[in-house]
Amino acid sequence: MPYKGFTLVELLISVSVIVILTAIALPIFATTGSNQTLTQNFENIKSDLRIVQAKSLSGIVSGDNGYWGIRFNCAGGKAVSYILGQPNNASDPLSEIYPGIQKLLTFGVYVKCSNSFQVVFLKNTAKPAEGSISIVVADGKNADKTIVVNAQGSVE
């Protein structure tokens, strides 16, 4: 008489195949999520750079100060937040940006730096006061992306 159903060996083989496929797929999905988080923060910083650049170019001012920029406060080689605002001294675009809008990066993502630094765009020209500057955004897993603001003000 033929038996109906599955044998124990057949069930063990099918469960083993499912476990092996899951073990292969999980690390791939974890890496994809990490890369997406890095890319999202990278694009947010680029977008914020363009926003302060547009404010500088359009002449949106607070008082007599037409400079706008982003300041990265570095601690331990990393900046995990940044501030959008205007320099303290209206006649010196390189003076420290006073508190404006503070933005936090997603946990685990940071900007590589040795000292606090800022990118300030000159009023009416939207060129960076510092000349060309590079901003490296990293996720601590040997992945990073670089934003370059060239001397003409192009954010790439």
Contact indicator for 70, 51 with CB cutoff of 8 Å: no
Predicted local confidence at residue 81, as pLDDT: 93
Predicted local confidence at residue 18, as pLDDT: 96
User: Structural domain tally of the chain?
Assistant: 1
Predicted local confidence at residue 44, as pLDDT: 96
Q: Residue 154 is which amino acid?
A: S
Asked, for residue 71, whether it belongs to a domain, the answer is: yes
Asked, for residue 156, whether it belongs to a domain, the answer is: no
Q: Which residue range is the domain that position 127 belongs to?
A: 8-149
Asked, for residue 3, whether it belongs to a domain, the answer is: no
Predicted local confidence at residue 61, as pLDDT: 67
Predicted local confidence at residue 141, as pLDDT: 83
The CATH number of the domain holding residue 80 is 3.55.40.10
Predicted local confidence at residue 130, as pLDDT: 85
Asked, for residue 79, whether it belongs to a domain, the answer is: yes
Asked, for residue 48, whether it belongs to a domain, the answer is: yes
Q: Would you give per-residue pLDDT tens digits along the chain (156 residues)?
A: 677 787 889 999 999 999 999 999 888 887 777 789 999 999 999 999 999 999 888 876 666 677 889 999 899 999 999 999 888 777 777 778 777 889 999 999 999 998 888 898 888 888 898 888 999 999 988 789 999 999 998 898
